[in-house]
Amino acid sequence: MPRTMSEFIGEIEKYIEETGKGPEITIYVKPNSDREELVIEGGELVFYTTEPPVQGRANASLIRYLSRNTKIPSSRIEIVYGWRSRTKKIIFKDVRTEVLAEKLAGIVKKKD
């Protein structure tokens, strides 16, 4: 595990891909969990949610969690791939990659 916050931010940046629309991250969602958190597990970002995978509830939970904890408005967070699968690609519109990495470093836990 990185020893300093700047090292952890550098590690988080590895999970962010630059796109023409904004930075994109891939998150694997585990619904029906006993908690709500974003972790690095097995080399990927994993979101645990208490919501079930029905009627978009787990997707809404993911967007709500990211918005609330990064202070990025939900209108600027969009699932662009994976609405019906556990693996999601999320774009953050009008957000710089460095800013996103810093915000994610503040909420991601490392489980490895």
pLDDT digits (tens, 9 = 90+) for 42-68: 999 999 999 999 999 999 999 999 999
For the segment 96-112, the average pLDDT, to the nearest whole number, is: 90
Residue 101 tokens read as 């990495």
Q: What integer pLDDT is reported at residue 112 of this predicted model?
A: 56
For the segment 29-45, the average pLDDT, to the nearest whole number, is: 95
Whole-angstrom Cα distance, residue 15 to residue 70?
A: 16
Cβ-contact 80, 62 below 8 angstroms: no
DSSP-derived 3-state class of residue 30: strand
Tell me which residue has tokens 């774009």: 91
Q: What pTM does this model have?
A: 0.93
Domain 5-110 has CATH 3.40.50.10800: no
Residue 54, C-beta contacts closer than 8 angstroms, at least 6 positions apart: none
Flag whether pLDDT at 6 surpasses 90. Answer: no
Cβ-contact 66, 72 below 8 angstroms: yes
